[in-house]
A and B are shown apart, each in its own frame.
Chain A
Amino acid sequence: MNDERLLVASLTLYLGDLSKIVNGLNQHYSRLQKALDSEQIKDEATKELLEEVMIFIKTEIDSLKKTYKASKNIYKELIRSISNKKQDLSKNSH
């Protein structure tokens, strides 16, 4: 397997795991958001603590999403490049 194909295989796994982490963090974020939006919390201290944690999680999610997007672009480029090379090879063989 050449380097490009190795990278495609690695990126497939990497993107899958990035997506799992984002989903997991999103679940925690939504749970906290639900708690914040509920009528149960009336005091500022609890709200502020929740908000601080949510900002932290959101920052992590945004950073992971950026990495995901950039990696996905590399993945697409590699797929395109591999497919072009395949086409070239088949043209040459004809």
Chain B
Amino acid sequence: MFHISIFNRKKPIFKDNEIYLICYNPPFIYIDIAEKILNKYLLAEFGLYSFIDEWTIEDNDQEYKVNAILLYYGLPLIKHKIPNAKIPNLEDLKNSSNRYIYYIAGMYWLLMNLSNVKPFKIKKLLNLTKKVNGRPIKVKELEGQNLIIYPNMSDLLDFYNLIQRARTINIWDYYNWVIRQM
């Protein structure tokens, strides 16, 4: 019927001028507009804009090319290795002899680079490691790669908290605390 065909006409789902964020937490893989998940200030503060790449995704049996930041259990990955730079990337992850250790090293690398970011913001990033909402998709570049891992978030948070405490610990805070107790 006519009205049905109008309603069935698909609007473009993914726009060329939009930056998306893919939460690749296999078996759960979701996409949404990046600024809907994290606001632009957080995206900038986490340095995620430098991880934008073109990814091929499959949504309802349709393939699309999107400009997106891909977070592999929270770890941003660029598609290809950059010579002489130690930036987490899909190429190295695929070729790693131990993908779990590559992921852990990548997350430590990320957290040490974000050691000036406030802890409550970091929690927002780490929460994305278990994000299971948005639009379910497949990412063609990562299909059939057996990339399921079971990251231990408490270890990562502990590492970040230690770095934070190492950076901020100050004898005068203790001195003032002792005075307040009197």
A→B interface (CB under 8 Å): 1, 6-7, 9-11, 13-14, 17-18, 21, 24-25, 28, 32, 35, 40-43, 45-46, 48-50, 52-53, 56-57, 60, 63-64, 71
Contact = CB atoms under 8 A, between A and B. Distances in A.
B152 to A, nearest CB: 11
B169 A45 contact: no
B86 A6 contact: no
B98 A40 contact: yes
A14 B159 contact: no
B50 to A, nearest CB: 17
B169 A48 contact: no
A31 B48 CA distance: 28
Most buried by B among A10, A13, A40: A10
B159 A28 contact: yes
Given A6-B178, A35-B101, A49-B92, 16 more contacts: A10-B177, A11-B171, A13-B177, A13-B178, A21-B162, A24-B158, A28-B108, A28-B158, A41-B97, A45-B92, A46-B97, A49-B86, A53-B105, A56-B112, A57-B112, A64-B166
